[in-house]
Chains A and B, each alone.
Chain A
Amino acid sequence: MSSYSRAMLPSWAAALIWPLVMLVAIIFSAPVAFAAAASPAETFVQQNIDKGYAILNASLSDDQRRAQFRTFMLGLTDTRRIGMFTLGQYANGASKADLDKFTDAFIDYAVAVYESRLSKYKGQTLKVTGSSERAADDIVVNADVVNPNSSNGQPFKVGFRVRKTSDGHPIITDMQVEGVWLALSQRSDFTGFLQQHGGSLAALTDNLHMQAQQIHASSGPGSQQAQK
């Protein structure tokens, strides 16, 4: 290579040009390498969270937004599985009817909580940064949430635990913000409540319905002002 450049160019020019060529080659090859590295789980999270933000940012009525977000979330997360997980040892020995009622209430509650939490990050962008594999069908996808309007705010880290449904589709089972997992916190919350209420699944179910209504009531149109 050096003999070729010496024949065609003065040596000082060769010394300048070859590093430049290499630099350009590296710059242009980098995006290709990144695109190839995104795993299916990472793409799944990025695309769906973008969809979720699109619903939260759209100019819809409260009812419309809520209905769309609910459909979106039920397709994206395994709420039934999360619900069972949050009951801990209290899931054992409960009747199917009680568990079904609880699951319904949990879905209401979880949709309200996710909507309320994610609306806090309206106008911000989520960028998937990588993932780590716990098992072939159990992947944690990491992402940064960046506020484009704030120059000095540090991005904060979120994560999504992606599992597979029985028919092989990816599905989210938990979400973490700065190292805190939502389903783990909910399990502590619910089992704490059950322990304080003699293990009554019915009491928990009633409370979840009530809680969901309260969250909806306080995250209506007024909540956007409260964020300022």
Chain B
Amino acid sequence: MNLFKVLVPAILAGVLLSGCASVSSAEGPQAINDPLEPVNRVMFDTTLALDRAVLRPTALAYRTVFPAFMRDSLRNFLNNLGSPVILANDVLQGEGTRAGDTLIRAGVNTTLGLGGLVDVAKRWGYMRHSEDFGQTLAVYGVGEGPYLFVPLLGPGNPRDVLGWIVDLAFDPLTYAQWREKFLWQFGRAGVDLIDLRARNIETLDEIEKTSLDYYASVRSLYRQSRNNEIRNGATEVQDLPDF
């Protein structure tokens, strides 16, 4: 948490500096916008070293030990816990249909889906989507600010990190009190990270294998896929660069 005591002022400053006037199209994926690159590269290398030593082997072991149905149930459960945050941001973005989908998914999966372990709603055609407050800020026209590589958390920018903190406030479990709360929240974040890493072993290996500058590739991939999420998957052809 000390990390965030340092980060938050920097992030707020970044958001203010980037200004509300700069809309995402003006800072398309082609812009490098990485004034902290030397520091970011050190953070990237450190995280990569930690990933190679600890996270990737753990994720591999996790995938080997637990059968697919158990991993999928766990993923469903974690996804279901994230519903309130998604719902809050659907509503804040004025996405009525998507908010309805999230509400139905949470209701159906929490009850018929045995507390979220089974994604019954998906079989009924209610597909999952994700939302977070970083995306909501983007929809409101807040600029992303300079690229940041946050140790352990990965690629981001001030807008996303601020969003991440606000999303904690949208999570009902933040307010619930019970004895082993810290342990539980820590475990939830840890398992989430390991499962996510396990689902991306081949993809990340492939990106690293085909990259000449892995850091720059990850930066571009992150920006593009993040903008794709913000646009809810719609292709903005006019934002593409000229060839």
A residues lining the B interface (CB < 8 Å): 81-82, 85, 113, 116-117, 120, 132-134, 138, 140, 142, 152, 154, 157, 159, 161, 163, 173-174, 176, 178-181, 183-185, 187-193, 196, 204, 207-208, 211, 214-215, 218, 226-227
Contacts and interface: CB of A to CB of B under 8 A. Distances in A.
A192 B209 contact: no
Contacts of A113: 210
A179 B224 contact: yes
Interface of B, secondary structure class, is: helix
Interface stretch (B137-145, B161-169, B191-199, B225-233): B225-233
Contacts of A214: 209
Given A132-B235, A184-B241, A185-B221, A179 B212 contact: no
Given A81-B243, A154-B127, A189 B220 contact: yes
Contacts of A185: 217, 220-221, 224
B235 A188 contact: no
A181 B29 contact: yes
| CB-CB nearest 7 A-B residue pairs | A179-B228, A192-B216, A188-B220, A192-B213, A134-B237, A193-B212, A193-B213
Given A140-B235, A191-B216, A180 B224 contact: yes
Contacts of B71: none
Which residue, of A132, A161, A188, has the highest number of chain B Cβ atoms within 10 A?
Answer: A188
B155 to A, nearest CB: 12
A76 to B, nearest CB: 16
B64 interface: no
Nearest to A191: B216
A157 B233 CA distance: 9
B215 interface: yes
B216 A181 contact: no
A173 to B, nearest CB: 5
26 contacts: A132-B235, A140-B235, A140-B237, A152-B122, A154-B127, A178-B228, A178-B233, A179-B227, A179-B229, A179-B231, A180-B221, A180-B224, A180-B225, A180-B228, A184-B224, A185-B221, A185-B224, A187-B30, A189-B211, A189-B213, A190-B212, A192-B212, A192-B217, A208-B212, A215-B210, A226-B202
Size bin of chain B's contact surface: 20 to 34
Given A178-B228, A184-B29, A211-B212, A189 B217 contact: yes
Which residue, of A176, A192, A207, A227, has the highest number of chain B Cβ atoms within 10 A?
Answer: A192
Nearest to B211: A189
Nearest to A177: B225
Given A184-B224, A188-B220, 13 more contacts: A132-B235, A138-B237, A140-B240, A142-B235, A157-B233, A179-B225, A181-B224, A184-B241, A187-B30, A187-B220, A189-B216, A190-B212, A227-B202
B147 to A, nearest CB: 11
Nearest to A184: B29
Contacts of A176: 235
